[in-house]
């Protein structure tokens, strides 16, 4: 291995021509804009930015490769693979060429109190966005506005023949006063010189390095700010063992099942399901012991399993991770798919068992801890029960004594479902299971308009905490929540329930019965919610007591209704 020096212009020349490329197994960009700005400041101050690792290429490339991100066309033969340093080279190339869609990088000088008040260069990544075909904020593209804010565009510092561009920008920034323009140009020149002369050293593996050794060095010497994940390492080993790109397979999966992203990171779900298909717990240790040839052979089955798992959750009206009570069921469903019968009656019995499994996973404390071990145990039980023509499952998750369903009091105490509390999300999931039709426009909940739904207090928070003198904890209860469209939520606002239900009844074509039906789709009791008249109670203590009593009666009635339907779902039966 050789240690060599190379300045940024030479790195850019090699990347632009295609002499320097990324092995296909390399992950994609992982740096955020904070890391990019930190790297740029490091270079502009002349501080070390670490070493890069390359693999020399002989007559033929040992690995499939791709250009650096931001470089579309290359015309020379690849002579080097960039094993470590992708994030740094990519950040430099894209920031200096202003290729980030959502950021433009600007340089300014600031006083460094730690170094005797010296002026030091700093970098800001200004957030950008497009509206009606125009890029905002517009001042970033206006030289006068940029210079008035004491900034310089980073793109003017990039290697290459940029003198005409620099002069044009300086002229515009100076409002075409030549003397001032030359002054600005002189301010930019030393910053540009720091980029042009900065040395980014590298270690070069010889072309004779065996592929497995190169991969091992890549894994052990990766020094980027964001360390390699298990998936990053497996990608490299997978390509070595199978000759296929796991990155490409994942992209193909996302194309086929785009909604998988709504539930889980596809990469982690794939590894978890693959481990469970090998009868291993879905843990980091298991991921590193995966049989990668088997993973390649099983790939289509895993894709089918993910498709089926997503469809199953959609059938249960669970559309994304924010509404999924526990993600532990996902790899179980994916790995279980191969055991689900195709014959109609057998398939129906299997689906009932699986429905019982997921709802018990949602409404018991089975996955409060030891998730990996317990999920594998449950998979084994489900596979055995299905393959034994419906033999009674013997896993603890189906043991009502070891894992009882929550009591009505526990349902009442469940927290607001916007957090990550499993029971709270499970209660919300039940209301979605019924269709969760909007109180005003009668729109049924679906993935396509979840972004238009908001978490609504059935008894308004202001009413409970102000007039009712209850704590916010008592107001923010899962049983006091329903997902409604943002428009309906705004219309209801802080109105007492009786008032907004009367408005909805007046607006509904079929009157009160239609409104009752819409509330029933959320498993919300109409009679216990249709209360109000609090403003007519002049005594504040009496008013608070009445509100608290009505709210308590509502929670108890909804808990009783919820307990009934939870019991049905956890038996694997269909929505009543």
Instruction: Identify the bridge partners of residue 123 per DSSP, sorted by sequence position.
Output: 107
Contact 140, 106 (CB under 8 A): yes
C-alpha dist (Å) from residue 26 to 87, 202, 564: 11, 18, 52
**Distance in Å from the first CA to the final CA of the chain:** 69
CB atoms under 10 Å from CB of 19, counted, come to 15
Contact 453, 485 (CB under 8 A): yes
> pLDDT tens digits, residue range 171-192?
999 999 999 999 999 999 999 9
d(CA 242, CA 90): 28
**444-476 burial by CB neighbour count: b if 16+ within 10 A, else e?**
ebeeeeeeebeebbbbbbebbbebbebeeebbb
Q: What six digits make up the tokens of 174? A: 């100076």
Query: DSSP string spanning 267-294?
Result: HHHHHHHHHHHTT--SSHHHHHT--HHH
Contact 438, 429 (CB under 8 A): no
Task: Outline where 403-480 has alpha helix (H).
Answer: 408-413, 422-433, 461-462, 472-475
Residue 95, preceding peptide bond in cis (omega within 30° of 0): no
> pLDDT tens digits, residue range 513-526?
888 888 999 999 99
The predicted pLDDT at position 219 comes to 74
Contact 96, 59 (CB under 8 A): no
The predicted pLDDT at position 223 comes to 53
The predicted pLDDT at position 116 comes to 65
The predicted pLDDT at position 450 comes to 84
Tell me which residues of the chain have a pLDDT lower than 50: none
Backbone angles phi, psi at 126, to 5 degrees: -80, 125
d(CA 24, CA 247): 8
The predicted pLDDT at position 2 comes to 67
The candidate with the shortest Cα–Cα distance to 86, out of 221, 249, 211, 206, is 221
The predicted pLDDT at position 507 comes to 66
**335-359 burial by CB neighbour count: b if 16+ within 10 A, else e?**
bbbeebeeeeeeeebbbebbbbbbb
């Amino acid at each position: 291995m050789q240690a060599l020096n190379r300045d940024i212009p030479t790195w850019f020349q090699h990347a632009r021509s295609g002499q320097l490329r990324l092995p296909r197994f390399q992950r994609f960009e992982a740096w955020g804009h904070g890391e990019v700005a930190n790297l740029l400041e490091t270079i502009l101050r002349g501080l070390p930015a670490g070493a890069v690792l390359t693999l020399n290429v002989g007559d033929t490339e040992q690995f499939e490769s791709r250009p650096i991100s931001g470089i579309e066309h290359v015309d020379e033969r690849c002579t080097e693979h960039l094993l470590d340093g992708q994030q740094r080279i990519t950040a430099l190339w894209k920031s200096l060429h202003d290729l980030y869609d959502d950021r433009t990088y600007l340089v300014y000088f600031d006083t460094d109190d730690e170094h005797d008040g010296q002026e030091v260069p700093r970098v800001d990544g200004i957030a950008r966005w497009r509206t009606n075909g125009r890029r905002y904020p517009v001042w970033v593209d206006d030289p006068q506005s940029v210079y008035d804010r004491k900034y310089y565009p980073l793109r003017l510092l990039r290697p290459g023949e940029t003198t005409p561009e620099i002069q044009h920008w300086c002229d515009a920034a100076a409002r075409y006063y030549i003397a001032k323009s030359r002054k600005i140009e002189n301010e930019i020149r030393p910053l540009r010189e720091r980029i042009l002369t900065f040395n980014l050293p590298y270690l070069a593996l010889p072309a004779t390095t065996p592929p497995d050794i190169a991969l091992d060095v890549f894994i052990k010497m990766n020094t980027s700010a964001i360390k390699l994940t298990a998936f990053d390492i497996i990608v490299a080993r997978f390509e070595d063992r199978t000759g296929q790109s796991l990155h490409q397979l994942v992209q193909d999966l996302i194309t086929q099942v785009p909604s998988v992203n709504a539930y889980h990171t596809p990469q982690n779900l794939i590894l978890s399901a693959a481990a469970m298909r090998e009868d291993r717990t879905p843990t980091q240790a298991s991921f590193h012991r995966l049989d990668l040839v088997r993973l390649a052979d099983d790939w289509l089955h895993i894709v089918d399993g993910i498709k089926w798992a997503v469809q199953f959750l959609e059938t249960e009206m669970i559309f994304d991770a924010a509404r999924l009570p526990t993600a532990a069921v996902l790899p179980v469903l994916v790995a279980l798919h191969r055991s689900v019968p195709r014959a109609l009656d057998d398939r129906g019995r299997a689906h009932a068992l699986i429905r019982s499994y997921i709802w018990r996973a949602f409404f018991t404390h089975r996955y409060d801890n030891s998730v990996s071990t317990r999920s594998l145990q449950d998979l084994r039980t489900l596979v055995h029960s299905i393959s034994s023509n419906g033999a009674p499952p013997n896993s603890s998750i189906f043991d009502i004594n070891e894992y009882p369903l929550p009591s009505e009091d526990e349902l009442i105490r469940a927290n607001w479902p916007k957090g990550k509390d499993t029971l709270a999300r499970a209660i919300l999931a039940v209301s979605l299971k019924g269709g969760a039709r909007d109180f005003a426009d009668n729109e049924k909940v679906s993935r396509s308009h979840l972004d238009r739904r908001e978490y609504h207090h059935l008894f308004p928070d202001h009413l409970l905490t102000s007039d009712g003198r209850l704590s916010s904890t008592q107001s923010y209860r899962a049983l006091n929540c329903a997902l409604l469209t943002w428009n309906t939520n705004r219309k209801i606002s802080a109105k007492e329930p009786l008032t907004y239900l009367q408005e909805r009844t007046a607006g509904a074509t079929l009157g009160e019965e239609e409104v009752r039906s819409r509330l029933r789709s959320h498993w919300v009791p109409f009679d216990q919610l249709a209360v109000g008249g609090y403003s007519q109670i002049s005594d504040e203590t009496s008013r608070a007591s009445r509100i608290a009593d009505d709210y308590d009666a509502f929670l108890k009635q909804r808990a009783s209704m919820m307990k009934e339907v939870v019991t049905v779902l956890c038996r694997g039966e269909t929505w009543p």
